[in-house]
């Protein structure tokens, strides 16, 4: 007997949870008998609905969520699915409005219950399940012979949003991959103006040197390299105090823009 994933899935696959049969997010089909495997007991069926209800006291929705299948995945053999699809198509042709209404209703129901979360099946399909990502990160590290940076990961199609949704952040991802993060906590602190008042001042001075003027309020809002007004106020009480510390002069009571050479 050779079982194949009924829907496209990318290696490596994670085993089903709770000592279940098969893999998480994968519906296995026995091509020879055209039956799908129940993740809970490992038996094979043409249609699983009644089996889930009678034997496991659960329903298709709960089952799909638990084993990471898409809510819209049909828990039945290919033959059964095709027959049903044909019947539905015929029904739709005979009742044009009704079928569309039902499909919209079903879709909104799916979204409501799962809270728009992607199932493991969808994640597998795109090759971004946690195990697959960690494997990619480790492979990249082997190639580079060091921990890859966030930018290098991005260049290899592991974007920051993917890391964020899967691991919380870059550091967690690197640690889970068993690698050492490229910067330790202290070094990060030193670099981040969020936690370093001296760096805030230095960034403003650097800006002045680079642009030959003091930053304007819009520069603080726009330039990613400058600390924000709230951050400055937190450390120095007010932005006014920052100017005083940096020795900015007033002209007629207003903060001046004395050109520097």
**Interacting residue ranges for Zn ion, rule: CB under 5 A:** 38, 40-41
Closest approach, Cβ 34 to Zn ion, in A, equals 17
Closest approach, Cβ 45 to Zn ion, in A, equals 8
Question: Is 13 or 38 the residue whose CB approaches Zn ion more closely?
Answer: 38
Closest approach, Cβ 47 to Zn ion, in A, equals 12
Residue 210: CB atoms within 10 Å = 9
H helical segments located in the chain: 49-56, 60-66, 78-94, 96-114, 120-126, 130-144, 150-155, 160-167, 170-176, 185-191, 197-211, 217-222, 229-236, 239-246
Question: Is 68 or 227 the residue whose CB approaches Zn ion more closely?
Answer: 68
Question: Is 41 or 191 the residue whose CB approaches Zn ion more closely?
Answer: 41
- The Cα–Cα gap between 192 and 213 comes to 23
Residue 30: CB atoms within 10 Å = 16
Closest approach, Cβ 18 to Zn ion, in A, equals 12
Residue with nearest beta carbon to Zn ion: 38
Closest approach, Cβ 6 to Zn ion, in A, equals 16
- Apex 65 CA angle, 63 and 69, nearest 5: 90
Question: Is 45 or 207 the residue whose CB approaches Zn ion more closely?
Answer: 45
Question: Is 36 or 201 the residue whose CB approaches Zn ion more closely?
Answer: 36
Question: Is 43 or 105 the residue whose CB approaches Zn ion more closely?
Answer: 43
Closest approach, Cβ 106 to Zn ion, in A, equals 25
Transcribe 64-111 into DSSP letters: HHHTT--TT---B-HHHHHHHHHHHHHHHHHSHHHHHHHHHHHHHHHH
**CA distances to 18, 46, 48, 85 from 76, in Å:** 22, 5, 6, 12
């Amino acid at each position: 007997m050779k079982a194949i994933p009924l829907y496209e899935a990318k290696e490596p696959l994670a085993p089903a949870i709770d000592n279940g049969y098969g893999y998480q997010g994968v519906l296995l089909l026995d091509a020879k008998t055209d039956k799908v495997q129940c993740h809970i007991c490992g038996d094979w069926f043409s249609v699983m609905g009644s089996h889930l209800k009678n034997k496991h006291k659960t329903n298709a929705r709960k089952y799909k969520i638990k084993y990471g299948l898409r809510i819209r995945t049909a828990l039945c053999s290919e033959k059964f699915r095709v027959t049903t699809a044909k019947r539905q198509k015929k029904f739709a042709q005979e009742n044009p409005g009704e079928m569309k209404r039902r499909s919209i209703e079903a879709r909104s129901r799916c979204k409501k219950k799962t809270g728009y979360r992607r199932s493991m099946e969808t994640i597998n399909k795109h090759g971004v399940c946690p195990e697959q990502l960690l494997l990619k990160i480790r492979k990249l590290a082997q190639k580079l012979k060091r921990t890859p940076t966030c930018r290098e990961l991005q260049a290899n199609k592991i974007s920051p949003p993917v890391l964020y949704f899967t691991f919380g952040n870059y550091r967690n991802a690197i640690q889970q991959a068993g690698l050492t993060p490229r910067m330790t906590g202290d070094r990060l602190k030193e670099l981040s103006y969020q936690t370093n008042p001296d760096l805030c001042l230095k960034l403003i001075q650097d800006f002045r040197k680079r642009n030959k003027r003091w930053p304007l309020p819009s520069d603080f809002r726009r330039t990613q390299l400058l600390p924000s007004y709230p951050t400055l106020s937190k450390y120095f009480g007010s932005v006014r105090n920052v100017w005083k510390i940096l020795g900015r002069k007033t002209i007629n009571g207003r903060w001046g823009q004395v050109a520097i050479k």
